[in-house]
A and B are shown apart, each in its own frame.
Chain A
Amino acid sequence: MRVVIAEDNALLRDGVALLLGEHDIEVVAAVADADDLLRAVAAEKPDAAVVDVRMPPTHTDEGLRAALTIRSTWPEIAVLVFSQWVETSYARRLLSENTGRVGYLLKDRIVSTDDFVEAVQRVADGGTALDPEVVRQLLAGPSVDPGLSRLSSREREILGLLAEGRSNVAIAEALHLAERSVEKHVTAIFTKLDLPQARTDHRRVLAVLRYLRS
């Protein structure tokens, strides 16, 4: 797999590049700002871009805007955005226009290398990755969606893990449940959200989106 890294801190940029290299992910370019990122992506057509939200010149959200540009210009290129702090509005912006190939992680998560590498891979494979902290905040928020308010607390918990991009197996592990009961809960969620019968993966994404947009 080939990725491009955009991060203005040189130390971190090199660290992430080496880390990904050790996990058999080829880093084809490592750049320091959004303009260079767009140029590198255009030139290299990587599988995924790993992007810091806050970069020069204004140090606000140029990374996020670049990420949205990448997603709309090259739909086949996945984007994993990470930021210094949790910002649910960033997650909403990312996921409101994309049903897959996007991820939003807290920078701290890079330290948990296995999770981070897995998130990069998942996003490149067409999935989503959301930081648990983001999910926690989204869950704590008010739900205006009547379907969402019908969910039980267990189902909300599972929906949260779904939003992070986890598989049924991973959810079962995380909650110490049997895989079958997770499947039952997931089906219940789909029913309560009135999601149409279709390919399971697609419904998962739709459920997560409902939840993010509420």
Chain B
Amino acid sequence: MTVARAALAVSRAVLAVPRAWGDRRTWRELAFVLLGALVSLPTFALALLGLAAAALSVVIFGLALLVGVLAIARRTPRYFRHPARRLVGWDWPDPPPLTAPTRWRRAVAILGDPTAWRALTYCFLRFPLIYAGAYGALIAIFTGTLSLTYPAWWLIRPDAFGVESTSWPGAWWRALQGAALLLALPWVVRLIVLLDSLLVRALLWPTPAARRIAQLKAGRAALQEDAAALMRRVERDLHDGTQARLVSLGVALARIQHRSGEDQIRALAADARGTVTEALTELRDIVRGLHPPALDDGLEVALSTLAARSAVPATVTVDLPARPPDATASALYFAVAELLTNIARHAAATRATITVGEEGPWVTLTVTDDGRGGAVPGPTSLPGASSGVPLRGSSPSGALSSGALPSDASASGSAASGASGSGSAASGAWGAGSAAAGGAGGAGTGLSGLARRAAALDGALTVESPPGGPTTVTMKLPREPG
């Protein structure tokens, strides 16, 4: 029995060899390898150019060339992915985009970008592998077919191709060799494809760290969206539930006051109604800090409302082709609220301009005032955030810098305590954040809080505020979250 089974297995294995040619996979892999030879040609040239550029990188031209080569290499994973997906069904995620906000920073970042270097290595290594495979496959097909049909050639012209083995059995031996070559070819091709897949895994797939980063980013984006949605829901609940109930309560008290003949009851009801009014005012301030309802009508409406409330006359220009994501919109809103409060408190400005526009993948907010300048953000407590927060403020001349900004948590704290007015809009999400950081942040809490918030959204905050003004604060946030 076992012998029979073994014999069956062997015969299956033997049969599998010729069957490989009937398998579509073999043809696809063969096509992949042959096409790969064409596909790898320009990328190999790129790799060689990269080598030359690296050698030349001591001169500035070589460095620029290297940046260019790496920038192209960074795109090659997608280039290679196209035939791989079609022919052998491989897939791998896009490399994460470079997140530096300016062209210059991206150029610097790419020199140390592992994705680009690994892709370039792949361009280099794949070429010999795939060429060996493609060359071998072509030779095998050609000589294999020729040998297989050798007995027929031998009959027609025994001295064809100048081969010396002119005996009839010799011709058949040659045919057998050709058959073996052709039968082995699919497995050789498979080996090449396997080696290529190992290279792809090692060099084109994002590294585990990169995949983890992508995962964390997606998680963070989801959390941000959730937080924005939660704020919005709480705002809805408070407005449509709590506020409506309080108003109804107030109306009921008013009716009691209206109908009762007893002075005592009327006085009591009037008192209670006053409390209801206060509660409503407080509720309004709380809600404004949570999620400005005006944001539902668009950023422009919300910012215009803010500007209208500002103590310093402010103009608003919003030029966005599409609605930014909720998290971005609310970050922009609270940034404007905070900046307008700062301007009103410390800048001694007579007017402010607020512009929101789009710049490539970024939404940029610029707030300018004609005040006395000298604003310097305090140190941010977020490690590493300083690299994303280019601070081009003037020399931190103590008096100005501490005077030009809310110097302690009480500034935002007082706003949160329900003082209605231009400051109160900054309460809630932002106010709480800066109040919490106030102890550590010290001077410049407002601006450093904004910088932190921008960094949390992968953006950046720039402050330009020479003594004597004018002050320009620019906030850049990615248009797409995550």
| Chain A residues whose C-beta falls within 8 Å of the C-beta of B251 in the assembled complex | 12, 15-16, 18-19, 110-111, 113
Q: Is A141 a contact of B254 with CB atoms below 8 Å? A: no
User: Contact mask B127-170 → A, CB, 8 Å, 1/0?
Assistant: 00000000000000000000000000000000000000000000
Complex Cα distance, B240 from A8, in Å, reads: 9
Q: Is B308 a contact of A22 with CB atoms below 8 Å? A: no
Residue from the list A22, A59, A87, A110 in contact with B250, Cβ < 8 A: A110
Q: Is B309 an interface residue (CB 8 A)?
A: yes
Q: Is B108 an interface residue (CB 8 A)?
A: no
Q: Is B244 a contact of A108 with CB atoms below 8 Å? A: no
Q: Is B255 a contact of A141 with CB atoms below 8 Å? A: no
B side interface size, CB within 8 A:
42
Q: Is B305 a contact of A88 with CB atoms below 8 Å? A: yes
Q: Is A125 an interface residue (CB 8 A)?
A: no
User: Contact mask B306-319 → A, CB, 8 Å, 1/0?
Assistant: 01111101110000
Q: Is A11 an interface residue (CB 8 A)?
A: yes
- Chain A, Cβ-Cβ closest to B352: A142
Q: Is A76 an interface residue (CB 8 A)?
A: no
User: Contact mask B281-305 → A, CB, 8 Å, 1/0?
Assistant: 1001001100001101100010011
Complex Cα distance, B309 from A29, in Å, reads: 36
Q: Is A61 an interface residue (CB 8 A)?
A: yes
Q: Is A89 a contact of B305 with CB atoms below 8 Å? A: yes
Q: Is B432 an interface residue (CB 8 A)?
A: no
User: Contact mask A52-65 → B, CB, 8 Å, 1/0?
Assistant: 00100001110000
| Chain B residues whose C-beta falls within 8 Å of the C-beta of A200 in the assembled complex | none
List A127-172 residues whose CB lies under 8 Å from chain B. Answer: 137-138, 140-143
Complex Cα distance, B250 from A113, in Å, reads: 9
Q: Is B277 an interface residue (CB 8 A)?
A: yes
Q: Is A19 a contact of B239 with CB atoms below 8 Å? A: no
- Chain B, Cβ-Cβ closest to A141: B308
Complex Cα distance, B309 from A19, in Å, reads: 32
Q: Is B24 an interface residue (CB 8 A)?
A: no
Q: Is B294 a contact of A87 with CB atoms below 8 Å? A: yes
Task: Tell me the minimal C-beta distance from A61 to chain B in angstroms.
Answer: 7
Task: Tell me the minimal C-beta distance from A208 to chain B in angstroms.
Answer: 16
Q: Is A108 a contact of B277 with CB atoms below 8 Å? A: yes
Task: Tell me the minimal C-beta distance from B369 to chain A in angstroms.
Answer: 13
| Chain A residues whose C-beta falls within 8 Å of the C-beta of B392 in the assembled complex | none
| Chain A residues whose C-beta falls within 8 Å of the C-beta of B307 in the assembled complex | 141-142
| Chain B residues whose C-beta falls within 8 Å of the C-beta of A84 in the assembled complex | 239-240, 243, 293
| Chain B residues whose C-beta falls within 8 Å of the C-beta of A74 in the assembled complex | none
| Chain B residues whose C-beta falls within 8 Å of the C-beta of A22 in the assembled complex | 255, 258-259
Complex Cα distance, B232 from A19, in Å, reads: 31
Complex Cα distance, B248 from A16, in Å, reads: 8
Known contacts A140-B308, A142-B315: A108-B248 contact under CB 8 Å: no
Complex Cα distance, B277 from A113, in Å, reads: 11
Complex Cα distance, B313 from A143, in Å, reads: 8
Known contacts A15-B251, A111-B254, A113-B251: A141-B310 contact under CB 8 Å: yes
| Chain B residues whose C-beta falls within 8 Å of the C-beta of A87 in the assembled complex | 294, 297, 301, 305
Complex Cα distance, B353 from A142, in Å, reads: 11
Task: Tell me the minimal C-beta distance from B415 to chain A in angstroms.
Answer: 16
Complex Cα distance, B258 from A16, in Å, reads: 14
Q: Is B250 a contact of A111 with CB atoms below 8 Å? A: yes
Complex Cα distance, B314 from A143, in Å, reads: 10
Complex Cα distance, B118 from A92, in Å, reads: 59
Q: Is B277 a contact of A111 with CB atoms below 8 Å? A: yes
Task: Tell me the minimal C-beta distance from B19 to chain A in angstroms.
Answer: 63
Q: Is B236 an interface residue (CB 8 A)?
A: yes
Q: Is B339 an interface residue (CB 8 A)?
A: no
Q: Is A59 a contact of B236 with CB atoms below 8 Å? A: yes
Q: Is B248 a contact of A141 with CB atoms below 8 Å? A: no
Task: Tell me the minimal C-beta distance from B316 to chain A in angstroms.
Answer: 10
| Chain B residues whose C-beta falls within 8 Å of the C-beta of A11 in the assembled complex | 244-245, 248
Known contacts A59-B236, A85-B284, A89-B304: A140-B309 contact under CB 8 Å: yes
CB-based closest 9 A-B pairs: A142-B313, A111-B250, A113-B254, A15-B251, A141-B308, A9-B244, A108-B280, A84-B239, A15-B248
Q: List 29 A-B contacts (CB under 8 A).
A: A8-B240, A9-B244, A12-B248, A15-B252, A16-B251, A22-B258, A60-B296, A60-B297, A61-B297, A84-B240, A85-B239, A85-B284, A85-B287, A87-B301, A89-B301, A107-B244, A107-B247, A108-B280, A110-B251, A111-B253, A111-B273, A111-B276, A111-B280, A113-B251, A137-B305, A138-B308, A140-B310, A142-B307, A142-B314
Query: 15 more A-B contacts (CB under 8 A) besides A88-B305, A89-B304, A111-B253?
Result: A12-B251, A15-B252, A19-B255, A84-B239, A84-B243, A84-B293, A85-B293, A89-B297, A108-B247, A108-B284, A111-B247, A111-B250, A113-B254, A140-B309, A142-B351
